[in-house]
Structure 1
Amino acid sequence: TKRLLGDEHPDVATSLNNLALLYNSQGRYSDAEPLLIEALAMTKRLLGDEHPDVATSLNNLALLYNSQGRYSNAEPLLIEALAMRKRLLGDEHPNVASSLKNLALLYDSQGRYSDAEPLYIEALAMRKRLLRDEHPDVATSLNNLALLYNSQGRYSDTEPLLIEALAMRKRLLGDEHPDVATSLNNLALLYNSQGRYSNAEPLYIEALEIAEQRLGANHPKTIAIRKNQEDLRRNRQP
Structure 2
Amino acid sequence: MLADILARLQKQASAGESGVAAAFELNWQSLEPETQKLACLLSLFALAPIPWSLVESAASSSDLEFDLKANRTTLVERYLLQELADDTYQVHERIQELLRQKLEELAEADELKHGFCQAMVAVAKDIPQTPTLIEIAQATLAIPHLGEVATVYQAWLSDDDLISPFIGLGRFYEGQGAYTQALPWREQSLLAARKRFGDEHPSVVTSLNNLAGLYNSQGSYSDAELLLIQALEMRKRLLGDEHPSVPTSLNNLALLYDSQGKYSEAEPLYIEALAMTKRLLGYEHPSVATILNNLAFLYNSQGRYSEAEALYIQALAMYKRLLGDEHPDVATSLNNLAGLYDSQERYSDAEPLYIQALAMYKRLLGDEHPSVATSLNNLAFLYKSQGRYSDAEPLYIQALEIAEKQLGENHPNTISIGKNLEYLRQNRQP
Is this a same-fold pair by TM over 0.5?
yes
**Corresponding residue SS for 2:410:** coil
Q: Which residue number corresponds to residue 230 of structure 1?
A: 422
1:74-129 Cα distance to aligned partner (Å, 9 max, x none) = 11110010011111111111100001011111111111111111000000000011
Which amino acid in 2 is paired with 1:40? Answer: L
Match of residue 232 from structure 2: 40
The answer as to 2:365 corresponding to 1:197 is: no
Single out whichever of 141-150 and 85-94 deviates more from structure 2.
85-94
Please report how far the alpha carbon of residue 26 of structure 1 lies from its aligned counterpart in structure 2 after TM superposition.
2.7
Residue in structure 2 matched with residue 112 of structure 1 by the alignment:
304
Q: Distance in 2 between matches of 1:59 and 1:135?
A: 21
1:119-134 pair list within 5 angstroms: 119-134=311-326
Q: How does 1:141-152 map to 2 (within 5 A)?
A: 141-152=333-344
CA distance in 1, matches of 2:343, 2:197: 48
CA positional deviation for 1:6: 1.3
2:379 is matched by which residue type in structure 1? L
Would you say 1:135 and 2:346 are equivalent positions?
no
- RMSD, matched Cα: 1.0
1:220 offset after TM fit, Å? 0.8
**What displacement does 1:222 show?**
0.7
SS in 1 for 2:295: helix
Runs of 4+ in 1 over 6 A off after TM superposition: none
CA distance in 2, matches of 1:153, 1:183: 17
2:354 is matched with: 162
What's the CA shift for 1:237? 4.3
Q: Aligned partners of 2:320, 2:393: CA distance in 1, in Å?
A: 32
The within-5 A match list for 1:57-136 is: 57-136=249-328
Q: Percent identity?
A: 78
Q: TM-score, normalised by structure 1?
A: 0.97
Report which stretch shifted further, 211-220 or 28-37: 28-37
Distance 2:225 2:362 in 1: 33
Aligned mates of 1:74, 1:184 — CA distance in 2: 27
Amino acid at match of 1:210: I
- The Cα shift of 1:224 comes to 0.7
Letter in 2 for 1:9: H
Output the amino acid matched with 1:189: F
Residue type at the aligned position of 1:77:
L
Specify the code of the residue in structure 2 equivalent to 1:79.
I
Q: What is the CA distance between 1:218 and its match in structure 2?
A: 1.1
| Alignment partners' CA distance in 2, 1:66 and 1:185 | 19
Q: For the residues of structure 1 that align with 2:268 and 2:208, how far apart are their CA atoms?
A: 22
* CA deviation string 1:29-58 (max 9, x = no partner): 222222111100100111111111101000
Question: 1:22 offset after TM fit, Å?
Answer: 2.2
1:148-192 CA distances to partner (integer Å, 9 max, x unpaired)?
Answer: 000000000000000000001111011111111111111000000
Mean Cα deviation higher: 77-86 or 16-25: 16-25
Gaps of 5+ in 2: 1-192
Q: Deviations over 1:4-36 (max 9, x none)?
A: 111111111111112222222233222222211
Larger radius of gyration: 2
How many angstroms apart in 1 are the aligned matches of 2:237 and 2:403?
Answer: 40
Q: Say if 2:218 and 2:407, in contact at 8 Å, map to a contact too.
A: no
- How many residues are paired up? 238
Q: Distance in 1 between matches of 2:369 and 2:228?
A: 27
- Residue 50 of structure 1 corresponds to 242
The letter of the residue matching 1:140 is T
- In 1, the alpha carbon distance for the partners of 2:202 and 2:298 equals 28
The Cα shift of 1:234 comes to 1.0
Deviates more, 1:109-118 or 1:66-75: 66-75
Query: Is 2:369 aligned against 1:177?
Result: yes
Report if the CA contact (8 A) 2:258-2:298 is conserved. Answer: yes
Q: Which one-letter code corresponds to 2:428 in the other structure?
A: R
**Whole-Å separation in 1 of the counterparts to 2:338 and 2:408:** 27
Alignment TM-score, normalising by the size of structure 2? 0.54
The structure where helix makes up a greater share of residues is 1
Residue 195 of structure 1: SS of its match in structure 2? coil
Q: 1:164 & 1:66 partners in 2: Cα distance?
A: 25
In 2: Cα distance, 1:63 partner to 1:33 partner: 10
2:406 to 214, 223, 237: 214
